[in-house]
């Protein structure tokens, strides 16, 4: 597996990972209604791909891949905020997430950030704890009008 920054050719694969991870990996922790609000099945089309391409060209997420097949991605935004962090549902537990977390931590350190903050799903909480993130508090996020449970977590770079 290799780590690199996002390239436009990755857009469809990243969208597929986002959708499929939510609908397969998170299905035990969220209702069907919540999953559909989070990643609507009818939302992936050329317009969505264009918007995501523009956003990802600005953020330049980290991408783990092998032979141009993407296994996961992570967006480290300004000031150390991780927005999206997804590993392909068929590649969970194979080190993809750990590689992405390390890349985010290393980049945040290089940029002089003091911490990384993220809001993680019920499903992802244990993974982020295993990577050294600290649980700050549970929270509700409004996603398409539904209050969905998440956790605010931080990684302190000075520890």
Q: Is the pLDDT of residue 159 over 70?
A: no
Q: Is the pLDDT of residue 2 over 90?
A: yes
pLDDT digits (tens, 9 = 90+) for 104-148: 999 999 999 999 999 999 999 999 999 999 999 999 988 888 899
Q: Is the pLDDT of residue 42 over 90?
A: no
Q: What integer best gives the mean pLDDT of the chain?
A: 94
Residue 42: Cβ within 10 Å count: 7
Q: Is the pLDDT of residue 47 over 90?
A: no
Q: Is the pLDDT of residue 9 over 60?
A: yes
User: Whole-prediction pTM value?
Assistant: 0.94
Domains and CATH numbers, the chain: 2-115 (3.40.630.30)
Q: Is the pLDDT of residue 158 over 90?
A: no
pLDDT digits (tens, 9 = 90+) for 11-33: 999 999 999 999 999 999 999 99
| The pLDDT of residue 125 | 98
Going by pLDDT thresholds of 50, 70 and 90, the confidence category of residue 39 is very high
Cβ–Cβ under 8 Å, residues 90 and 57: no
């Amino acid at each position: 597996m290799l780590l690199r920054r996002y390239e436009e050719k990755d857009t469809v694969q990243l969208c597929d990972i986002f959708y499929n991870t939510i609908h397969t990996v998170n299905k035990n922790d969220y209702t069907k209604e919540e999953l559909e609000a989070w990643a609507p099945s009818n939302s992936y089309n050329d317009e969505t791909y264009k918007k995501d391409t523009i956003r990802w060209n600005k953020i330049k997420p980290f991408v783990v891949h092998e032979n141009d097949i993407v296994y996961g991605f992570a967006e480290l935004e300004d000031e150390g905020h991780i927005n999206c962090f997804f590993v392909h549902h068929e590649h969970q537990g194979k080190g993809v997430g750990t590689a992405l977390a390390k890349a985010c931590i290393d980049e945040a350190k290089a940029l002089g950030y003091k911490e990384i903050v993220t809001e993680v799903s019920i499903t992802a909480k244990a993974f982020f704890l295993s990577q050294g993130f600290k649980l700050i508090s549970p929270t509700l996020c409004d996603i398409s009008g539904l209050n969905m449970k998440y956790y605010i977590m931080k990684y302190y770079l000075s520890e």
